[in-house]
Amino acid sequence: MSRLAADTLLPVDTTLAVALAVLLIAATAVVAVFRLSPDGSHRRTREILTAGVRAAAQLAAVSLVVGVAVRHTAALLGFLFLMFAVATRTAGRRITPNHTWWWAALPIAAPVAPVVVGLVLAGLLTVPGIAIVPVTGILIGGALTATVLAGRRALDELTQRHGEVEAGLALGLPERDARLEVSRGAASDALLPALDQTRTVGLVTLPGAFVGMLLAGASPLLAGAVQVFVLIALLAVEALAVALTVELVARRRLHRDAAREPARRPTPRLRPPPFRRTPT
């Protein structure tokens, strides 16, 4: 019965393909007409079109891979590592174009790994098993979003309020503390999406985990309990991701500075002419 309900809700046929194409074209057209790009160009248009096509292709491939991965521990761990690697690359490149992007791995791995390991040790998730893939994916996705938002907001704030950082240094603050005071408040806005989603769950939206379990035949009570767990876990993961990202920015591990120039030879100091006593 649950399969019949899923097929009735969203049948996978030609109509679905046409609907997806129309929605993707509509999103691309809106971005193009209103020039919704940081520099007013059509860059975001291409990004949306590429993202939509990639999403369809990647999910088609994942649908085939997951069926094999959930039955073999090595394949499952490899798939989870691939998810983490892609998230790190995506988050890092959204924050900075230079070589420091790989530091984005820390605020993604540090919150997610302990939660997943704890769930496995507690018996709530099994390895191998199907549940560990969506749960880990949700947590990694939340950490990715929080890391990107916190990193971009923190670095933008430091650029716009550079004078305040200099003032803090002039007052004797360490560089890390001066940068932290300026960037922390703006970076904390990265928690707003998770907070709003948690506050409005059941009143404004019915998240994917809840709907998915209902379609799979679970009771509404069980589906609600799982969804609450996912939301609370996301709050914990994203809070730590934001804190670590701000710390990395404050310590200049994540930055947008250009590559360091080669060391220059010191400019020779000019000696003053020798003092000559004028005859009296």
In the prediction, which pLDDT does 276 show? 57
pTM of the model: 0.79
pLDDT in tens, 207-230: 777 777 776 677 788 878 888 888
CA gap 6, 1 in Å, rounded: 9
Dihedral (CA of 132, 135, 139, 144) sign:
positive
In the prediction, which pLDDT does 277 show? 58
In the prediction, which pLDDT does 275 show? 53
Question: Which positions ≥6 away from 85 have C-beta within 8 Å?
Answer: none
CA gap 5, 214 in Å, rounded: 10
Share of the chain above pLDDT 90, in %: 50
Spans of the chain below 70 pLDDT = 1-10, 215-216, 258-280
CB atoms within 10 A of CB 186: 20
CA gap 217, 52 in Å, rounded: 30
CA gap 38, 28 in Å, rounded: 16
How does DSSP assign 203-258, residue by residue?
TTB--HHHHHHHHTT--HHHHHHHHHHHHHHHHHHHHHHHHHHHHHHHTTSS--PP
Residue type, 115: V
The pLDDT mean for the chain works out to 84
In the prediction, which pLDDT does 216 show? 66
In the prediction, which pLDDT does 72 show? 81
Nearest to 29 by CA among 49, 54, 13, 57: 49
